Structure 1
Amino acid sequence: MGSLRVRPFEEADLPDAAAALVEVHATDGYPVEGVSDPEAWLRSDDVLASWVAEADHQVVGHVAVMSPNGEDAVALWIRQSGESPERVAVLGRLFVTKRARNRALGEELTQTATAYAQTHGLRLVLDVMTKDTAAIRLYERLGWRRIGETTHHYGDGQQTSALCYVAPSS
């Protein structure tokens, strides 16, 4: 894999980003929802900004900064910090295809989203399923702080344990 870069998402990226999402779901079981209509999931009305990772002009990763939509991590952070809800956003839709891993693309995507949030006066939070150990290691290595635990509900009454994190302060 040659040239790598992270850049803002463009509408023309949607089919390739959706295909990468389906690929990640097949290899990792992430995400647990959204795979039936990956284009709609990636372009949710809650997306404030998003980026893709490219390798050799092919989309191999994605991340988004999103408006809160009932996430437990948001409620936990607001309760713990006293932060105004308007100043909190969610890091979401982060994935990198298996063939593009171990090249720091997940780190670069996360840092790009974090920089955007800081520039816009937002504090990022997220929840991550406990099964996603590589993602947990990434967030902790980048200084995200665990603020609690929750249960992620999805699908037809399914659930799994998850951890809530807040991004480091700027």
Structure 2
Amino acid sequence: MADTSIRPIEDADVPGAAAALIDVHSTDGYPVEGVDDPEAWITPPGVLKAWVAHRDGVVGHIAIMKAEGEKAVTLWQQQSGEDESRIGVLARLFVVRSARKHAVGESLMRTAMDYAEENGLRLVLDVMDKDEAAIRLYERLGWQFIGGATHQFGDGQQIPAKCYVWPAS
């Protein structure tokens, strides 16, 4: 397998990222929504910046979204008083199973965290309790738990989630 490269997403990457998303959903149940139209889920309004991981094709993705209505944003604002305009939401991180154990998720995370630091953004995220591997990655990278939430999706469905903040300088 070739080395992995991380770069900003381009229009030509979207079909490959959509295929990777469907693969991840089939193995991990992530995301709980969006797989009916994976290209739209990967390119929603409100994306500030997004990247893909390439390793013999698209094997991963991550985005920073505008801080709009997310529980993690509200929790962080209540705890810090930070202005919403200085907060970004880390979102849509996924890596196909065949590319795991190659630090692809960590590389995507570090790319997004570097971008946030360079652009003066405080990152927050929410993660479903069931996604234990993602939680371990966030905590290993120094993200701090700020509270619980309930992720609403589909036709009135919900699942418990945890909210984190990245304590960048």
> Is the shorter-chain TM-score for this pair beyond 0.5, marking a shared fold?
yes
Q: State the TM-score bracket (shorter-chain normalisation).
A: over 0.9
Q: How many Å apart are 1:26 and its aligned residue? A: 0.5
Q: How many residues align?
A: 169
Q: Distance in 1 between matches of 2:149 and 2:73?
A: 11
Provide the residue aligned with 1:151 in structure 2. Answer: 150
Provide the residue aligned with 1:60 in structure 2. Answer: 59
Alignment of 1:1-170 (within 5 A): 1-56=1-56, 58-170=57-169
Which amino acid letter does the alignment assign opposite residue 65 of structure 1? Answer: I
Q: How many Å apart are 1:69 and its aligned residue? A: 2.4
Q: How many Å apart are 1:16 and its aligned residue? A: 0.3
Q: Distance in 1 between matches of 2:3 and 2:66?
A: 32
**TM-score scaled to structure 2, two decimals?**
0.98
Q: How many Å apart are 1:141 and its aligned residue? A: 0.1
Which amino acid letter does the alignment assign opposite residue 15 of structure 1? Answer: P
**TM-score scaled to structure 1, two decimals?**
0.98
Q: Which runs of 5+ in 2 are unaligned?
A: none
Q: How many Å apart are 1:168 and its aligned residue? A: 2.1
Which amino acid letter does the alignment assign opposite residue 61 of structure 2? Answer: H
SS of match in other structure, 1:150 = strand
Which amino acid letter does the alignment assign opposite residue 95 of structure 1? Answer: F
Q: Distance in 2 between matches of 1:125 and 1:157?
A: 24
Whether the aligned pair in 1 keeps the contact of 2:144 and 2:164 (CA below 8 Å) is yes
* Pairwise CA RMSD: 0.7
Q: How many Å apart are 1:3 and its aligned residue? A: 1.7
- Identity, % of aligned positions: 62
Q: CA deviation digits over 1:102-159, x for unaligned, max 9?
A: 1101001011011111111110000000000000000000000000001100001100
Q: Which runs of 5+ in 1 are unaligned?
A: none
Which amino acid letter does the alignment assign opposite residue 100 of structure 1? Answer: A
Q: State the 4+ residue runs in structure 1 displaced beyond 4 angstroms.
A: none
Q: Distance in 1 between matches of 2:29 and 2:79?
A: 31
Q: Distance in 2 between matches of 1:169 and 1:81?
A: 14
